A and B are shown apart, each in its own frame.
Chain A
């Protein structure tokens, strides 16, 4: 399988292209949207893109179980990030009555 075939039928390159486009969309979400919750979702999307690439490489190296362990660790870190990140968003909302990241540009009240 080469070139377009690999992309359409799910060769290694197809998965990597999907992962790269997912990462780009997540990055665009973080850069273009102003709502903190949406930016947070963009970060989750970028983490997921990395997972897709990792597990695609693992499958094409013969089903490596090490990759699954790292996937588990990535998920644990993502869950921690979700808990702390959302707590920060709630704290910011209490202080400024807004979830807009542009409005949180100064350290003073």
Chain B
């Protein structure tokens, strides 16, 4: 099960990186988000899986695809100047970063101990637990998040409207 969802996630992300058509790349990203939701289910966290699908695929990606279609920029534009050296250097650096980090994760004794001690399947996350923690311990953060969303909404309207 895990390897299936992991492959969906990583192949979707790879498809997004390599795809020429921007809309198809967006749909690859939707597949990635579904794969991540599956991973959250396997982590005994159905609340996060549902939120992932509702917010990321249902709201953010719909907004992105809407903007792509509105701007009618389906294909990547021709490069003004090609930067082959910069591109290869960035590929090499990203690959080195990924390989180094994966090697660190696999070699770490602390992670091995944590994986062994937490191997028993915990109780599934419920909305009740999340709500209790959210409103008992993080009420201020919750209100600030609401304020931030309002600010972003007003800002987005102010940025896109031609003359207020």
Do residues B2 and A10 form an inter-chain contact, with CB atoms below 8 A?
Answer: yes
Interface string of B56-96 (1 = CB under 8 A from A): 10011001100110110100110111000001001100110
Residue of A7, A60, A69, A82 touching B64 (CB-CB under 8 A): A82
CA distance A68 to B112 in the complex (A): 23
Do residues B105 and A16 form an inter-chain contact, with CB atoms below 8 A?
Answer: yes
Contact residues on A (Cβ < 8 Å of other chain), bracket: 35 or more
Chain B, residue nearest A31 (CB): B90
Contact residues on B (Cβ < 8 Å of other chain), bracket: 35 or more
CA distance A78 to B141 in the complex (A): 15
Kindly provide the distance from the CB of B69 to the nearest chain A CB, expressed in whole angstroms: 11
Interface string of A41-71 (1 = CB under 8 A from B): 1101100100110011111111101101101
Chain A, residue nearest B65 (CB): A37
Kindly provide the distance from the CB of B108 to the nearest chain A CB, expressed in whole angstroms: 8
| A and B contact pairs by CB, cutoff 8 A, 7 listed | A9-B2, A24-B94, A25-B16, A55-B48, A72-B51, A75-B51, A82-B63
Binding site for B on A (CB under 8 A): 1-3, 6-18, 20-29, 31-35, 37-38, 40-42, 44-45, 48, 51-52, 55-63, 65-66, 68-69, 71-73, 75-84, 86-91, 93, 98-100, 102-103
Binding site for A on B (CB under 8 A): 1-3, 6, 9-10, 13-14, 16-17, 22, 25-26, 29, 32-33, 36, 39-40, 42-45, 47-48, 51-52, 55-56, 59-60, 63-64, 67-68, 70-71, 73, 76-77, 79-81, 87, 90-91, 94-95, 97-98, 101-102, 105-106, 111-112, 114-119, 122-125, 129-130, 132-134, 137-138, 141, 145, 148-149, 151-153, 155-157, 159-160
